[in-house]
A and B are shown apart, each in its own frame.
Chain A
Amino acid sequence: MMELTNIASYLTSFLTFAGVYAVLALGLNMQWGFTGQFNIGIAGFFAVGAYTSAILTTPSSPAYLGGFGMPFLVGLLGAIIASTVLGLIVGLITARLRTDYLAIASIGIAEMVRLFVKNEDWLTNGVRGIAGIDRPLAGTVLDSGFAYLVIVALFVAGVYFLVERAYASPWGRVLRAIRENEPATAAAGKSIAGFRLQAFVLGSAIMGLGGGLYAHFFGFLSPEAFMPLYGTFLVWVMLIAGGSGNNRGAILGAIVVWGVWSGTDLLTGLLPSEHATQAAALRVLLIGVLLQVILVLRPEGILPEKPPKLIARKR
């Protein structure tokens, strides 16, 4: 009986994590899968979302700005707004340029966010971090890990619904056109920079939401708890493995790659504890090799992109 509850709680936590990553992968899909924009500062948007929600919802503390004790949904809304603003700034700088510049700028933004979070104690409590971030429904009978999993799943479903609609819409068609052939799209009279900016900001907002969901799941935030780079990297592997451009692929990739990542944790856990740092490095090595193998052998991912059927006009 004990075993069974353990497995159930492990599974709940596993799926909640996978759900948070699925939200991030869907956000990245909007930027990379649809539009071909290369963002490797995911961790930055994620952290901004997580910290915003944490500051808005925790009870007030003398150590850092806030908390304001706001409800869960207000925290998430704040997370979305904050990451939207950040996405707008990065997007405005890079929308006119080749995507390599976006990649470089986004890595810079992630680094700046990390430095800022670490050094500005008044806002984020610095390296000591923010603790005591409650789950929604905390204190009621409904509060449990499983209930939070349901909430995360609802958000994943909601985001999936929105991005899927966006993908099939004329707006999404322009994004794919930009990805496939930028000069032709410009010749058709579409504002390349404008559409790119919209997609980038929308994707950033979704990532901020992912950050907020993470904060309330984990309950504690600190600059080190993020492992920013691995977070970004995992989301990329998830999207590429699942199938970039395909929203279902993004969700599937999140579950599969999170499974692989957790599986390597169980495997390297068998090593003696004095090799703990080597074990962590070995996990990253395995995931890195996995990415390269996918890129060489199956770049389209598990579920390749399937553009919606063209509807023939009735004559």
Chain B
Amino acid sequence: MTVSYENSKTIFEGIKAAGIRSVSALPETWLGLLLGRIEEDPDMTLVQVAKEEEAIGIAAGAYFAGTPHVLLMQNHGFFGAVNGLVSLAMLYHIPLCMLIAYRGHWGEPYPWHTRGGIVTEGVLRALGIPFEHARDPMKVAKQIREAWTFSQSSLSPVALLLTRDLMED
């Protein structure tokens, strides 16, 4: 299994088409090709963090500044960012558009990802964060655009789960 070159490109184009010009991220295998494109694009600002919770603060700063921003992280990084999500984003009604690599689910060969994958949707539900699965490269650009729009109208964090179907060839 390798990370999908074509679908990484499609996601990148979807992010740009949604008007996003700023991205915070912690590099992750599935996100590597996508982050490479973002880094090379002169129209995009990429902030690479040491831990995902920082990205919640950075995204809040970008929101206050009026710059459309998405967060890229793995689901395990999302777990590490929960207090920032709750006591910054939700508490202050700050919208966040998160694209989350959904590791550790159907087809996962690596044991170390499995616990995180199993609890991801439950944690999202417990936090009241609306989410959808991105599986189809034909639909992902629209899903990114809609996730972005919904985050802004609801002033809430929203999550698009990037699945194995989409991220691997």
Partners in one complex: no
